[in-house]
Chain A
Amino acid sequence: MERETKIAICNLYKIFGPDPNTALEAVKEDGLNKSDLMAQTGHVLGLEDINIDIKAGEITVVMGLSGSGKSTLIRHINRLIEPTAGKIIFGDHNLIECGQQMLRRIRREEMSMVFQKFALLPHKTVVENAALALEIRGFSDKEYIPEARKWLDRVGLQGFEESHPHQLSGGMQQRVGIARALTSNAGVMLMDEAFSALDPLIRTDMQDLLLELQEELHKTIVFITHDLDEALKLADHLVILKDGKVIQQAEPQTVLLEPNDPYIIDFISDINRVRVLRVRTVMEDIPEGTKVSCCGEVDHDDNLESVIAMSGGDTHKTYLVKDGSKEVGILHMAKLLKSLVPIEAPDEGIRCSGG
């Protein structure tokens, strides 16, 4: 099913430095890359020709290594950073051209943000922090406190409403951050490495919480991470960024099966593919008019590990794939095995050769 585009980023460029426009010419005409531009003009190429359609109700994950421009990109979406060139279409507006008044309204009502370092107000209580967006909009505390409490309950923080942020653990502080974003009731949620500062177990909890909330709320989420596992777990649409450029964007399963850049191959070479790949990615269509005779049924969203467990290692078996009660395809174990053949990692790891 194709969803409508909520935010379209078109030909976005960002160059840091004293004279970005001249540097932009150099990038567009001479095709300089990040390190060339740095060497020749001393400007930093933050983002280069970014085009992304962010679909409503999906989690779009932007992944890349440190310095690849992820934070720069997400800050363009609510224009915390001004671009050097390009458009960001949101509804009927180009955010880059809209006035301060309009921009403020969009930030207040349409977009919320969750930060890596939580960025809570230390002098306010948890419930006041969660209510921030409504308070800014001018609601009275009688209106915003119950709303904030509701969302704090929803993220599992009942009983901590009157605490101050410094009394909470990191994971709990980020729950406040999420509650704050939810209380604003904005359709778009921007999350910049929201879980990166948390330790692995808490992190998994938070990812589960986010997926659970998303199941129910269908927000349009842009999620930044440098962690592939996290990206694969959360993403409906995965954008991979390198040196300020998008090098691949697709459904995560596609990125895994058909990586189009040595950089990505290097990235995914450590991934446990059996756990991540889904039946629907490797199944085949049911041939016309055939009655499938097979030895079992699997769900289209199962991961391959569970199918292998079910088959007991027999590569001759074939399964019928179902989406609810609908038959959507067949899965040959031999095909499944093929999809697990690792894609050759380049001899030298890209991550190291970059320096």
Chain B
Amino acid sequence: MATYDFVFSGLGLKDWCNKDGTGSAGPVSMADLMAQSGGKEIPSPSLWDLPFPSMDALHEACAAFPKSRVLTKGLEQGFLEIKDNLSLVLDPLTQPLSWALSGTLSLFQETPWWLMIPLLLAVVMLVSRSVKLVGFVALSFALLSFINYYDYAIQTLAVIFVCAFLCVLVGVPIGIAMSRSDALQRTAIPVLDMLQTLPPFVYLIPLIFLFSVTEPKLYGIAIILYAIVPVVRLTDLGIRLVDKDVIEAADAFGMTNRQKLYKVEIPLALPNIMAGVNQTIMMSLAMVVIASLVSAPGLGVLVLRGIRNLELGVGLVSGLGIVLLAVILDRTTKLALARINAAQRD
């Protein structure tokens, strides 16, 4: 006797309910097992305890009515069915990402430290023009290397380097296209919102089904999907915010659309685009840690080890390493941004 019996008897569906036998068909969920083993008595129904007419509650009243697990199961099944076809298309399409990641990883790792660290310092100097920051980077790397975390840190950097680069490469054109077409902007914004609000773990689920966990592209895609959002958004915004008067001047002097894009719109939107790049890099860093769950190398692996093996020290120190990298990446891009802003302050 279940709460919603009356619905089915009222609708005259009793026969349909009992058609395929009694008892709970379909997959058994953890909650069912618990309830069974507990062997609880059914309490007398009071209005206070009225369950929501959910799938499970209705199933209790009518065996033929599907449980909610059937729904999720169906999703799984469906996904598994299209999976093969999907991988057939996606696999070759995303293969270059695997190559780029493993290539860059081995390049970064095989370059000896006494070449790699000065190279990094030179890049930081070039981008930020700040001796103070270069000093900070040198100190941070000396510290990380001294405690034997150099390899992990450089792996993390390599992954971020590839992913952030690809985010910019793909994201800026998408942003430009969005700024040109209101229709595209209207469709793209909900997708971007979804990408940004989905918890990072959720990305990993369908990706694990699609690709094998050992492939670098698995975490590459996860990182790119998560981190591409700000650069797309801010490119779109930046180009839409370009002073209408300046655009008009460009038209009045006979610029072609291409000239307008390269000589006016992108340079004037650059502060916004760079703010997007900064956020994209920071989000790649956040994701590369989470993606260590699916075999992304780097400091995240150590954090994971800290959690799994309860090695508190390892977890804390690698966490500190991540903070150092975050500060370095953030400062470097922010200083570059500040320089651009200073050059075209109105």
Contacts and interface: CB of A to CB of B under 8 A. Distances in A.
A48 B267 CA distance: 39
Contacts of A213: none
A122 B253 contact: no
Interface in A249-281: none
A80 B251 contact: yes
Contacts of A135: 263
A86 to B, nearest CB: 20
For the side of the interface on B, what is the size category?
20 to 34
B94 interface: no
A317 to B, nearest CB: 52
Contact of B344 (A111, A115, A136, A164): A164
Contacts of B344: 122-123, 164, 166
B268 A108 contact: no
A123 B256 contact: no
B345 A122 contact: yes
Contact of A119 (B246, B270, B343): B246
Interface in B244-260: 245-246, 248-249, 251-256, 259
Given A166-B344, A166-B346, A122 B268 contact: yes
B254 A105 contact: yes
Which of B249, B255, B270 counts the most A-chain CB atoms under 10 A from its CB?
B249
A60 interface: no
A113 interface: yes
Tell me if B's interface is mostly helix, strand, loop or mixed. helix
A121 B267 contact: yes
Contacts of B255: 136
Contacts of A111: 252
A112 interface: yes
A92 to B, nearest CB: 19
Contacts of A113: 249, 252-253
Interface in A111-151: 111-113, 115, 117-123, 132-133, 135-137
A220 to B, nearest CB: 16
A151 B344 CA distance: 23
A72 interface: no
A154 interface: no
B280 to A, nearest CB: 22
B314 interface: no
Contacts of B263: 121, 135-136
B243 interface: yes
Contacts of A104: 254, 256
A225 interface: no
Contact of A107 (B246, B254, B264, B343): B254
A107 B253 contact: yes
Interface in B4-42: none
Contacts, number: 65
Interface residues of A, number: 29
A281 to B, nearest CB: 36
A311 B254 CA distance: 55
A174 interface: no
Given A104-B256, A136-B259, A164-B344, A119 B267 contact: no
Interface in A67-84: 78, 80
A99 B243 CA distance: 27
Contacts of A318: none
Given A164-B344, A166-B345, A166-B346, A119 B254 contact: no
A80 B253 contact: no
Contact of B343 (A132, A164, A184): A164
B346 A122 contact: yes
A107 B254 CA distance: 5
A131 to B, nearest CB: 11
A120 B246 CA distance: 6
A135 B345 CA distance: 23
A280 to B, nearest CB: 36
Contact of A121 (B246, B248, B270, B345): B246
Interface in B214-267: 243, 245-246, 248-249, 251-256, 259, 263-264, 267
Contacts of B249: 113, 115, 119-120
B338 to A, nearest CB: 15
Contacts of A107: 251-254
B254 A108 contact: yes
B245 A119 contact: yes
12 contacts: A80-B248, A80-B252, A109-B254, A112-B253, A115-B245, A115-B248, A123-B270, A123-B343, A136-B255, A136-B259, A137-B254, A166-B345
Interface of A: 78, 80, 104-109, 111-113, 115, 117-123, 132-133, 135-137, 164, 166, 180, 184, 190
Given A180-B253, A190-B252, 7 more contacts: A106-B254, A120-B249, A121-B246, A121-B264, A123-B267, A164-B344, A184-B253
